[in-house]
Amino acid sequence: MKFQPRLLTMAGCLALAACTTPAPRSDSPPTTKTSMATPADADAFVAGINQEIRDHYVEDVAAQWVAATYITPDTGVLEAKASERGLIRLKDAIDASRRFDGVSGISTDSARAIEMLKRQSAMPAPRNPADLAEMATLASRLGAAYGSGKYCSDPADPKTCRNLNQLSKVLAESRDWNADLEAWQGWHSVGRGMRGDYQRFAELLNEGARDTGYADAGQAWRSGYDMNPSELRAETDRLWDQVK
């Protein structure tokens, strides 16, 4: 199984108009009211974005599927380019949605949909086209490395090789200390080779989050729970203290 940072999903598309308005966030980016935009414009905008997602969904998912099923440099290129196009569409949609910031009278469904645009991808897109393309390429390359990575307890014997899913299964199900330790160390020996790419990927994620209006990618991810990201952090800390 290949690690895959998803871009847009049909479920997300259809859910845009099916939820309640999110709670205001004190750390949301500042808004500017645009007097020319109307609630009807917002409704039409949401309908257009939903249709655009539907129009491109099959191509996006097909590229992800073939890259996950046949892990080769060529399928990686196809996936990266499809991802890049999807991120550009999403970035353009987020930019276009700013004309509705501060407009009063927008329906609950459309307000929710416009807010959810920023959360449609776990990879917030940088404004810089070169950085956006690099992030899409790194995401595909990291996914391929994850999907094809193997640990061999005896490098001379292919029968001892296990992929990361198999090692994860050992960690989830085994109660043998030595088996778990070997699986853990083996998993990390594979992941260690991804470190450089992942560090750069994280830098680009944070850049994209800032360009979207968040402090960093962590805040962008925490904003997806219909509560202030700082409140979510406090709540998770409270729950973790209970677990401890």
pLDDT in tens, 116-144: 887 788 888 899 999 999 999 999 999 99
**Shortest CA distance to 6 belongs to which of 75, 71, 79, 108?**
79
Q: What pTM did the predictor assign? A: 0.72
pLDDT of residue 107: 94
pLDDT of residue 12: 45
pLDDT in tens, 43-90: 999 999 999 999 999 999 999 999 989 999 999 999 999 999 999 999
Specify the 3-state DSSP secondary structure of 95.
helix
**Shortest CA distance to 45 belongs to which of 125, 113, 136?**
113
How are beta strands 150-152 and 161-163 bridged, if at all? antiparallel
Specify the 3-state DSSP secondary structure of 31.
coil
Q: Which range (27-31, 128-132, 228-232) has the least confidence?
A: 27-31
Query: Which token pair is 189?
Result: 């020996």
H or E stretch at 163: strand 161-163
CA angle 216, 122, 184 (to 5 degrees): 95
Check if the beta carbon of residue 50 is closer than 8 Å to that of residue 114: no
For CA atoms 34, 39, 40, 44, the dihedral sign is positive
State the pLDDT confidence band at 235, using cuts at 50, 70 and 90.
Answer: very high
More confident residue, 224 or 100: 100
- Average pLDDT, stretch 18-39? 50
91: pLDDT strictly greater than 70: yes
Task: Give residues with Cβ within 8 angstroms of 194, minimum separation 6.
Answer: 142, 145, 146
Provide, rounded to the nearest whole percent, the portion of the chain with pLDDT above 70.
86
- The Cβ-side half-sphere exposure at 66, using a 13 Å CA radius, reads 14
Mean pLDDT, all residues of the chain: 84
Task: Give residues with Cβ within 8 angstroms of 158, minimum separation 6.
Answer: 152
- Average pLDDT, stretch 207-221? 91
State the pLDDT confidence band at 35, using cuts at 50, 70 and 90.
Answer: low
State the pLDDT confidence band at 7, using cuts at 50, 70 and 90.
Answer: very low
pLDDT of residue 118: 78
pLDDT of residue 119: 79
pLDDT of residue 146: 87
Residue with tokens 């998803």: 6
Residue with tokens 């609630």: 39
**Shortest CA distance to 124 belongs to which of 37, 29, 52, 31?**
29
User: CA-to-CA distance for 196 and 23, rounded, in angstroms?
Assistant: 38
